[in-house]
């Protein structure tokens, strides 16, 4: 858990930040920008390597991405997440304390991240420390220690954090929404698990999961920043050529979204809540959708920027909320669309009604030339800062590996944005924005709002303090 | 603690960075006739640029009855001026490919515009309009009250830190305006009037009270021309009144307890009075915070998180014009009580006070500062924000480039001295946030 706190209060929650938190892939992309040159190659053991030199500051980023995520957890929800976290807690070569001491000493940062499909170990450090850092990351990836005492300590912290997540509606509402859209498996998997599943996970489970999924044929090592490609490649070969493959297990495939013949309202009761936070939506698009860019431009108009329709109506005109937005979250095989906002308990219905009414404008009013031109300029203009640092570029190259796209996505972006017309916009809206049987998740004080929200669909109530995300 | 041979090795660690990164001579400056200072950093790495305007006004400039006004005013700056009426600031900027945000702190209000470099002149036009001719619309004031009330309540709903930080500040400060939250008290958000807003605008939004930083794909000469054209005609105003109140010395530990039903394990916040940013002890205190709490190998992380007393711990000391606070925050583990966490933190602080820190720990903190500097300077936005922060809090952007050497001068003795001077019991406030009600059962 990473925390930064300031006595600071901003005009609104950064749209960029939300895009990063709420979505696996970036949505805004741009004009005249072409991706810096990079090399992609595959070692004999099928390990994929990406190298991109960026010399502005003397820093290097590594992003190791592995095609393994919570979908493969099976009935032990949280298994991949725990495996990945424990890979940081010591290697055959060094203890946890030795690694932490040595990384802190050189000011290096190391993080792990995973979702339903993928996992990542990423690090940022000074160029002069590249030999040391590459070695540590290699050891974490290939020869983790999986120490029993560290495992027990980590598990105990993880269990408390699962409870702590439930303190914040913002932190958990998305997991409830995916459960509602996909059910318990596939993209409905809860990445961090729950108290029951995590308690059942053993160190032996981690070792098996690691040897099954963390293999060179399933992995890419991305390096971006201030280094020399030739020397780097020699280093990487020396470190990773000896890493052996085994047979990969049968991969569990993600589930499709449920097909709904009615609207459902999942009401998550938080008895001390003073506001209601809600998501409204349904199935969205997969990452490889050929209309991905066009859809993101339309979403910019609906709820992807400050002057978007949703924010304009709910915040600027009505003063009901600090912010309202909409977003597509895309995975390899599917995705979700959702409208999201929050408002004080007493204006819950007013805010939901206004959000639904505003959403209907997509079909009733459509997108005019002027609005479309503004949105196109906006997504193009805001693109270059998204790929400014070696950290961002390393992340992009990692996404190319896991979602199987190439630099054409970046380099053709301007063309794709420019070719969107109001006629095509109409077609995009009809095809991709869910209109019927919308699904609702509300987190708030059930006692005060339950009866009032029955008009939106079939209400199912759960308690936020209940273990996990069981909504059946 | 590590062996002495290793300690010698650390002393030999030298950071040799290449010279591609920004340095002081890359920044060009301009002071307009009305006193507005403009700093420019040409950086052609992406076809974008930004404009950061730092206004020297924050919640410290407010009074009881109008707490939160600086932040509310920040919102109102987007709600219509003479040329660009309600909604037009955002609509015009976004249609030109730009985006914006703004933030308010105890000390500053900062506006941030991010845009394709060829929209630079439009940004000057938009900013000049609202700086010179803001038109406060009463209808917009009312809807914005609802927005800020929602911002306030969603912060409290989703963040335990906010729930405990406000009472801790209010307890640590009895006199100085740092005592109230930046967002303001609920009753004040509901009550300020048009006169409050207009007076505030006239007093603080004067060009002589601002620092402008522009970084990105721009030319200094062009920025200079536009600044003279758009910003120079805006009249200067008398300098705002100084903050008179000096917080009296704290003479004993203060405590505050807050009940919040949804908290799963107790949260603790320690706050110690420390001097303002320009004070000579600033660098030693920042290093002390780093040694105590930055990274998994830090003192508090090892003693509390590794030992299963807390799940998380961190510390920070915000930049401030007036003497403010150094914070340490921890969240109890399942098996620990608030008292155990408190004892664990105090034990580590006392160790630093009595035994000091090691050469290796000191060097580690310095190394972190150096790498952190390069991380801050890896984007045009990071550059603009950091340059502006140094210019405002240290009175000179050059201090940014001298920071590494200022940190290098900090010694083991300095750390021990500042720990003893400031992290004393009598100088601290301890806040506890818990799901357990503060009941009467143990009162008698």
pLDDT, one tens digit per residue, over B222-234 is: 999 999 999 999 9
Please give the C-alpha separations between residue B245 and each of A206, A388, B71, B248, in angstroms, as whole numbers: 59, 44, 21, 9
Mutate to test the interface with B, among A3, A4, A6, A9 (most CBs of B within 10 A): A9
Split at pLDDT 50, 70, 90, the class of A19 is: very low
On whether the CB atoms of residues A365 and A302 are closer than 8 A, the answer is no
DSSP state of B81: B
Split at pLDDT 50, 70, 90, the class of B17 is: very low
What dihedral angle (degrees, nearest 10) is formed by the CA atoms of A152, A156, A162, A166? Answer: 180
Chain A residues within 8 A of B154 when measuring between CB atoms:
170, 275, 277, 322, 342
Chain A residues within 8 A of B331 when measuring between CB atoms:
164
How confident is the model at residue A17, as a pLDDT? 36
| Predicted-complex ipTM score | 0.90
Chain B residues within 8 A of A384 when measuring between CB atoms:
46-48
How confident is the model at residue A261, as a pLDDT? 96
Compare A27 and A265 and report the one with higher pLDDT. Answer: A265
How confident is the model at residue A146, as a pLDDT? 98
Distance from the Cα of A7 to chain B's closest Cα (Å) equals 6
pLDDT at A3 over 70: no
Mean pLDDT of chain B: 93
Mean pLDDT over residues B79-91, rounded? Answer: 96
Sign of CA dihedral A456, A460, A461, A464: negative
pLDDT, one tens digit per residue, over B42-54 is: 999 899 999 999 9
A58 CB-near residues (< 8 Å, 6+ apart) = A126, A127, A128, A226, B17, B18, B20, B21, B374
Chain A residues within 8 A of B103 when measuring between CB atoms:
8-11
**B373 near A CB under 8 A:** no
Chain B residues within 8 A of A168 when measuring between CB atoms:
157-159
Residue A288, SS3 per DSSP: coil
Q: Which candidate from A58, A307, A322 shows the least CB-CB separation from B151? A: A322
A369 CB-near residues (< 8 Å, 6+ apart) = A422
Residue A366, SS3 per DSSP: coil
Compare B444 and B396 and report the one with higher pLDDT. Answer: B396
pLDDT, one tens digit per residue, over B18-34 is: 445 688 999 999 999 99
* Residue bearing tokens 């660690």: B13
Chain B residues within 8 A of A105 when measuring between CB atoms:
10, 297, 360, 363-364, 367
How confident is the model at residue B77, as a pLDDT? 96
How confident is the model at residue B356, as a pLDDT? 98
How confident is the model at residue B361, as a pLDDT? 98
DSSP state of B24: G
Alpha-carbon Rg of chain A, whole angstroms? 23
Least confident residue range of A274-288, A370-384, B145-159: B145-159
Phi, psi of A279 (to 5 degrees): -120, 140
pLDDT, one tens digit per residue, over A432-454 is: 999 999 999 999 999 999 999 99
**B333 near A CB under 8 A:** yes
Distance from the Cα of A116 to chain B's closest Cα (Å) equals 25
pLDDT at A4 over 50: no
How confident is the model at residue B20, as a pLDDT? 55
CB-CB under 8 Å, A312 with B367: no
**B75 near A CB under 8 A:** yes
Mean pLDDT of chain A: 92
Split at pLDDT 50, 70, 90, the class of B443 is: confident
CB-CB under 8 Å, B262 with A167: yes
**B117 near A CB under 8 A:** no
Q: Which candidate from A11, A55, A103 shows the least CB-CB separation from B101? A: A11
Chain B residues within 8 A of A307 when measuring between CB atoms:
87, 90-91, 94
DSSP state of A278: E
Split at pLDDT 50, 70, 90, the class of B13 is: very low
Q: Which candidate from B144, B161, B378 shows the least CB-CB separation from A59? A: B378
pLDDT at B11 over 60: no
Split at pLDDT 50, 70, 90, the class of A22 is: very low
Compare A374 and B14 and report the one with higher pLDDT. Answer: A374
pLDDT at A308 over 50: yes
Widest pairwise Cα distance in chain A = 67
- Among chain B residues, the shortest Cα distance to A5 is held by B161
**B139 near A CB under 8 A:** no
pLDDT, one tens digit per residue, over A82-97 is: 999 999 999 999 999 9
Q: Which candidate from A275, A305, A388 shows the least CB-CB separation from B154? A: A275
DSSP state of B19: T
Mutate to test the interface with A, among B53, B95, B386 (most CBs of A within 10 A): B95
pLDDT at A403 over 60: yes
B270 CB-near residues (< 8 Å, 6+ apart) = B327, B328, B329, B345, B428, B429, B430, B431
- Please report the DSSP string for A109-126 in residue order: EEEEEE-SS-EEEEEEEE
Mean pLDDT over residues A222-233, rounded? Answer: 97
Q: Please give the Cα distance from B125 to B83 (Å, whole number).
A: 9
CB-CB under 8 Å, A12 with B101: yes
**B258 near A CB under 8 A:** no
pLDDT, one tens digit per residue, over A64-87 is: 999 999 999 999 999 999 999 999
How confident is the model at residue A370, as a pLDDT? 97
pLDDT at B8 over 60: no
- For the whole model, what pTM was predicted? 0.92
Q: Please give the Cα distance from A189 to A48 (Å, whole number).
A: 27
- Among chain A residues, the shortest Cα distance to B92 is held by A374
How confident is the model at residue A405, as a pLDDT? 80
* Burial per residue of B405-424, b for 16 or more beta-carbon CB atoms within 10 angstroms, e otherwise: ebbeebeeebbbbbbebbbe
pLDDT, one tens digit per residue, over A33-59 is: 788 999 999 999 999 999 999 988 899
B353 CB-near residues (< 8 Å, 6+ apart) = B416, B419, B420, B423
How confident is the model at residue B156, as a pLDDT? 87
Least confident residue range of A325-339, B15-29, B210-224: B15-29
As beta bridge partners, residue A276 has A343
Q: Please give the Cα distance from B418 to B288 (Å, whole number).
A: 8
Chain A residues within 8 A of B364 when measuring between CB atoms:
104-105
DSSP state of B51: E
Split at pLDDT 50, 70, 90, the class of A28 is: very low
Distance from the Cα of B33 to chain A's closest Cα (Å) equals 30
């Amino acid at each position: 858990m990473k925390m930064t706190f300031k006595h600071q209060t901003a005009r609104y929650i950064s749209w960029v930040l939300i895009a990063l938190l709420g979505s696996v892939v970036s949505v805004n992309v741009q004009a005249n920008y072409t991706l810096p040159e990079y090399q992609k190659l595959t070692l004999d053991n099928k390990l994929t390597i990406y190298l991109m030199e960026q010399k502005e500051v003397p820093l290097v980023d590594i992003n190791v991405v592995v095609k393994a995520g919570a979908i493969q957890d099976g009935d032990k929800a949280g298994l991949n997440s725990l495996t990945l976290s424990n890979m940081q807690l010591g290697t055959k070569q060094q203890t946890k304390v030795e690694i932490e001491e040595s990384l802190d000493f050189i000011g290096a940062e190391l993080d792990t991240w995973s979702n339903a499909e993928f996992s990542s170990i990423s690090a940022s450090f000074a160029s002069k420390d590249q030999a040391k850092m590459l070695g540590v990351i290699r050891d974490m990836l290939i020869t983790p220690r999986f120490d029993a005492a560290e495992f027990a300590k980590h598990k105990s912290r993880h269990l408390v954090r699962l409870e702590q997540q439930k303190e914040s509606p913002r932190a958990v509402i998305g997991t409830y929404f995916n459960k509602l859209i996909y059910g318990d498996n596939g993209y409905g998997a809860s990445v961090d698990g729950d108290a029951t599943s995590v308690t059942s996970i053993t160190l032996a489970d981690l070792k098996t999961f690691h040897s099954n999924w963390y293999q060179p044929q399933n992995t890419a090592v991305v390096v971006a920043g201030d280094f020399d490609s030739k020397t780097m490649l020699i280093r990487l070969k020396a470190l990773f050529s000896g890493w052996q493959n085994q047979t990969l297990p049968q991969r569990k495939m993600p589930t499709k979204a449920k097909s709904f013949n009615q609207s459902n309202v999942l009401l998550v009761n938080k008895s001390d809540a003073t506001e209601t936070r809600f998501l409204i939506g349904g199935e969205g698009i997969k990452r490889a959708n050929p209309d991905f860019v066009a859809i993101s431009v339309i979403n910019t108009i609906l709820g992807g920027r400050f002057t978007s329709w949703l924010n304009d109506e709910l915040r600027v005109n009505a003063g009901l909320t600090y912010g309202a937005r909409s977003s597509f979250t895309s995975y390899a095989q599917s995705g979700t669309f959702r409208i999201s906002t929050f408002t004080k308990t007493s204006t819950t219905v007013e805010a939901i009604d206004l959000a639904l009414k505003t959403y209907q404008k997509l079909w009733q009013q459509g997108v005019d030339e002027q609005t479309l031109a503004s949105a196109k300029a906006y997504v193009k203009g805001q693109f270059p800062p998204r790929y400014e640092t070696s950290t961002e570029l390393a992340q992009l190259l990692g996404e190319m590996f896991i979602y199987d796209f190439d630099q054409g996505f970046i380099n053709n972006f301007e063309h794709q944005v420019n070719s969107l017309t109001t006629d095509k916009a109409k077609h995009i809206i009809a095809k991709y924005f869910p209109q019927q049987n919308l699904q609702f998740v509300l987190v708030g004080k059930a006692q005060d709002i339950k009866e009032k929200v029955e008009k939106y669909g079939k209400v199912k109530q759960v308690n936020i303090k209940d273990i996990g995300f069981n909504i059946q | 603690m590590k062996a002495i041979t290793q300690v010698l090795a650390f002393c030999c660690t030298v950071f040799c960075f290449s010279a591609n990164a920004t340095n002081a001579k890359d920044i060009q400056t301009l002071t307009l006739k009305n006193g507005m200072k403009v700093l420019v950093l040409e950086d052609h790495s992406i076809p974008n640029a930004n404009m950061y305007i730092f206004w020297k006004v924050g919640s410290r400039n407010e009074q009881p009855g109008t707490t939160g006004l600086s932040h509310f005013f920040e919102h109102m700056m987007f709600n219509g001026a003479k040329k660009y009426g309600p909604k037009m600031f955002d609509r015009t900027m976004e249609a030109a490919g730009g985006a914006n945000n703004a933030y308010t702190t105890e000390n500053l209000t900062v506006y941030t515009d991010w845009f394709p470099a060829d929209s630079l002149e439009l940004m000057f036009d938009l900013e000049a309009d609202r700086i010179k001719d803001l038109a406060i619309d009463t209808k917009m004031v009312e809807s914005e009250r609802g927005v800020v009330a929602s911002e306030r309540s969603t912060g409290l709903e989703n963040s335990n830190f906010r729930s405990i930080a406000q009472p801790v500040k209010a307890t640590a400060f009895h006199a100085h305006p740092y005592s109230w939250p930046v967002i303001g008290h609920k009753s004040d958000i509901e009550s300020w009037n048009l006169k409050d807003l207009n007076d505030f605008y006239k007093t603080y939004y004067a060009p002589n009270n601002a620092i402008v930083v522009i970084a990105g794909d721009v030319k200094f000469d062009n920025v200079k021309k536009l600044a003279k054209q758009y910003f120079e005609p805006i009249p200067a105003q008398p300098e705002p009144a100084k903050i008179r109140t000096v917080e009296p010395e704290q003479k004993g530990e203060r405590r505050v307890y807050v009940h919040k039903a949804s908290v799963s394990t107790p949260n603790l916040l320690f706050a110690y009075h420390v001097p303002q940013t320009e004070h000579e002890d600033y660098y030693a205190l920042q290093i002390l915070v780093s040694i105590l709490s930055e990274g998994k190998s830090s003192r508090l992380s090892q003693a509390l998180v590794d030992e299963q007393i807390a799940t998380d711990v961190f510390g920070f000391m915000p930049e401030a014009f007036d003497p403010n606070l150094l914070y340490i925050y921890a969240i109890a583990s399942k098996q620990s009580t608030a008292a155990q966490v408190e004892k664990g933190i105090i034990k580590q602080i006392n160790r630093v006070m009595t035994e000091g820190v090691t050469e290796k720990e000191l060097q580690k903190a310095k190394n972190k500062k150096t790498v952190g500097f390069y991380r801050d300077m890896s984007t045009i936005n990071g550059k603009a924000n950091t340059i502006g922060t140094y210019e405002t809090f240290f009175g000179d952007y050059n201090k940014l480039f001298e920071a590494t050497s200022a940190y290098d001068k900090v010694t083991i003795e300095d750390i021990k001295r500042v720990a003893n001077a400031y992290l004393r019991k009598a100088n601290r406030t301890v806040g506890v946030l818990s799901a357990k009600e503060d009941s009467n059962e143990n009162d008698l």
